[in-house]
Structure 1
Amino acid sequence: MALSTRPSAPASAGARMRLAMQTERPLQIVGAINANHALLAQQAGFQAIYLSGGGVAAGSLGVPDLGIVGLEDVLTDVRRITEICPLPLTVDADTGFGASAFNVARTTRSLIAAGAAAMQIEDQAGAKRCGHRPNKEVVTLPEMVDRIKAAVDARSDPEFVIIARTDALASQGRQSALDRLAACIEAGADVAFPEAVPDLEGFRDFARALPAPILANITEFGQTPMLTVDELAAADVAIALYPLSAFRAMNRAAQRTYAAIRRDGTQRAMLDEMQTRMELYESIGYFTYEEKLDALYAGKAA
């Protein structure tokens, strides 16, 4: 008797992502560092979630976001999330996890097989950097277009969403970023992601110039201001991404809790900030599992 509580989904993950993009605008996509956070995002009412490459690096591996993460590292987290949470998951695929179109194709097929709904692929070169850090280098436009074409050709689910991200704005300027995204859309990308846009007018310019939905990365402590969904809607932005908000808050909470226990010799001072045992049980469906387990053993006893 299976213990899974995952709801059945009538459509592919990619189709669920496209439906979410149609029913909410801007579609708020929040980062989920693990399966537990994916469930919490679902319970908060979000219609889509995101797995950050920087989050996999820092959260799962404890290393910087400098191209150290490999495809299998990402797939492990993707599978854990999609096996338990039905929300469409967008995955940060960095530069495709390899130097050739063959690598991008393999990444695309693997993400679809693991249950992802969308992938983000960028035009950085070599040992990539966080999109809001200096000294980023980008590949040539033809190489970026080849990455997109490889992903488009490799997708077994025609509804799987391909997001083209460019980091050219910081180093080459607005026109280069526009040219790159336009070429990626022509090559089959579904969504345009200009990284590190410094103001609302910049998003408005991209939305006016490009024939595809625009994604705004509203990450904290970066180059883009903390714009509201109303402001983004007024600029015709289709997707608002919050890749690591909960992860940053979780880390700060852990730091405070560890410091308090070490300082006080007890966790009493932190209890009001903790999720209770019952709240955790409710969030992960503990009692449903327990009921099924009891029924399973009751059947064996009979």
Structure 2
Amino acid sequence: MLHAAKTASQKRQALRSALASGDLQRFVGAFTPLSTSLVAGGGFEGVYVSGAVVSAELGLPDIGLTTLTEVAQRAAQVARTTDLPVLVDADTGFGEPMNVARTVQVMEDAGVAGLHLEDQVNPKRCGHLDGKQVVDTATAAQRIAAAVRARRDPDLLVMARSDARAVEGLDAAVERLKAYVDAGADAVFPEAMLTLADYERVVAAVDVPVLANLTEFGKAPLFTHAQLAEVGVRIALHPVSLLRTAMGAVERALDALATTGTLEGEVPSMLTRARLYELIDYAGYSDFDADVFTFEVPDGTRGVQA
């Protein structure tokens, strides 16, 4: 009720322990705080706050238009609602090293378990669009070093993302990721890998967990969890899937309403009122409220000493 039962520190420690176990961690993008209950109920291991989702919710393209404040606010709203660790897309850190340092501390205050920073130029663009540009390796490594230095909780996971695969090729991307690990990255996110062999190459090159981005309609195939685990990937990320699923359903419902003048035919596929109340935990709030208003105030004269 109200907030997650686990503290941010506990969730950060849980994420690190889970990654150390060697088991694949499945992170699903939450397009609203409410959706975290469904992610947890599905047995998934983590929640993601996608920069692409935040920008889309604001009616903006994913080209670096969102601000640190907007992303941190959504990250805090999501982290508040779940005991699962939350990983947030921090883009390029919203600026250069000092901005990166502030981003890290703001995200720490938001309660996330980890964040990833990328090596695109600032402002960035969606990792699956053409025309991306990356900064030089030293500049990107400096961002990671600044992030590691700025964090106050050593358990906060700092992940380095590289978009160099589509710009400079796999060899260059691997070398960049190695440099980012040397700069202090706790995990790596090689964007737009094209084959399982690509992931296998990255896994062999670094000694930190590797994330695989499984975004629909992107450049990379939608590998299965079993396939990714087989080549040593430790985080399978589904960043925009829930938003796409939900908005697809919204569009179909609106089409039906415009065509038939009623949503009667759509009702069977809707989330029921009872299920919505269950996800929000109405019962918990009701019990708490009842306890407050049925509390008997003791007689103030008893036990009072002159």
Give me the TM-score of the superposition, normalised by structure 2. 0.93
Q: The residue matched to 2:220 in structure 1 has which SS? A: coil
**Alpha-carbon distance, 1:5 to partner:** 5.5
Instruction: Say whether the 8 Å CA contact 1:5–1:285 is kept in structure 2.
Output: no
Instruction: Say whether the 8 Å CA contact 1:12–1:157 is kept in structure 2.
Output: no
Tell me: CA distance 1:24–1:264, structure 2 relative to 1, closer, same or farther (3 Å).
farther
C-alpha distance in 2 between matches for 1:89 and 1:172: 31
Q: The residue matched to 1:35 in structure 2 has which SS? A: coil
C-alpha distance in 1 between matches for 2:69 and 2:167: 31
C-alpha distance in 1 between matches for 2:137 and 2:6: 41
Equivalence for 2:10: 12
Equivalence for 1:210: 206
Bigger mean CA deviation after superposition, 5-14 or 110-119:
5-14
User: 2:263 aligned with 1:267, yes or no?
Assistant: yes
The 5 A counterparts of 1:148-187 are 148-187=144-183
> Matched residues, percent identical?
37
**Alpha-carbon distance, 1:127 to partner:** 2.6
Equivalence for 2:76: 79
The 5 A counterparts of 1:134-283 are 134-283=130-279
C-alpha distance in 2 between matches for 1:5 and 1:72: 21
RMSD: 1.6
C-alpha distance in 2 between matches for 1:29 and 1:138: 26
Equivalence for 1:285: 281
The 5 A counterparts of 1:32-181 are 32-59=30-57, 61-98=58-95, 100-181=96-177
Equivalence for 1:295: 291
C-alpha distance in 1 between matches for 2:143 and 2:17: 25
Instruction: Say whether the 8 Å CA contact 1:112–1:160 is kept in structure 2.
Output: yes
C-alpha distance in 2 between matches for 1:5 and 1:108: 22
Q: The residue matched to 1:172 in structure 2 has which SS? A: coil
**Alpha-carbon distance, 1:301 to partner:** 9.4
Q: The residue matched to 1:130 in structure 2 has which SS? A: coil
C-alpha distance in 2 between matches for 1:273 and 1:260: 13
**Alpha-carbon distance, 1:26 to partner:** 1.5
C-alpha distance in 2 between matches for 1:201 and 1:236: 11
Tell me: CA distance 1:300–1:135, structure 2 relative to 1, closer, same or farther (3 Å).
farther
C-alpha distance in 2 between matches for 1:220 and 1:230: 18
C-alpha distance in 2 between matches for 1:191 and 1:16: 15
**Alpha-carbon distance, 1:251 to partner:** 0.5
Specify the structure having the higher radius of gyration (Cα). 2
Tell me: CA distance 1:293–1:120, structure 2 relative to 1, closer, same or farther (3 Å).
same
Give me the TM-score of the superposition, normalised by structure 1. 0.95
Q: The residue matched to 2:266 in structure 1 has which SS? A: helix
**Alpha-carbon distance, 1:300 to partner:** 7.3
C-alpha distance in 2 between matches for 1:6 and 1:206: 35
C-alpha distance in 2 between matches for 1:4 and 1:174: 45
Tell me: CA distance 1:5–1:151, structure 2 relative to 1, closer, same or farther (3 Å).
closer
Find runs of 4+ consecutive structure 1 residues off by over 6 angstroms: none
Instruction: Say whether the 8 Å CA contact 2:15–2:113 is kept in structure 1.
Output: yes
Equivalence for 2:302: none
Instruction: Say whether the 8 Å CA contact 1:12–1:159 is kept in structure 2.
Output: no
Equivalence for 1:26: 24
Q: Which residue identity does 1:96 align to in structure 2? A: G
Tell me: CA distance 1:226–1:10, structure 2 relative to 1, closer, same or farther (3 Å).
closer
Paired positions, count: 298
C-alpha distance in 1 between matches for 2:202 and 2:98: 30
Q: The residue matched to 1:28 in structure 2 has which SS? A: strand
Q: Which residue identity does 2:271 align to in structure 1? A: Q
Tell me: CA distance 1:111–1:11, structure 2 relative to 1, closer, same or farther (3 Å).
closer
Alignment gaps of 5+ in structure 2: 299-306
Bigger mean CA deviation after superposition, 139-148 or 19-28:
19-28
**Alpha-carbon distance, 1:297 to partner:** 2.1
Tell me: CA distance 1:24–1:284, structure 2 relative to 1, closer, same or farther (3 Å).
farther
Alignment gaps of 5+ in structure 1: none
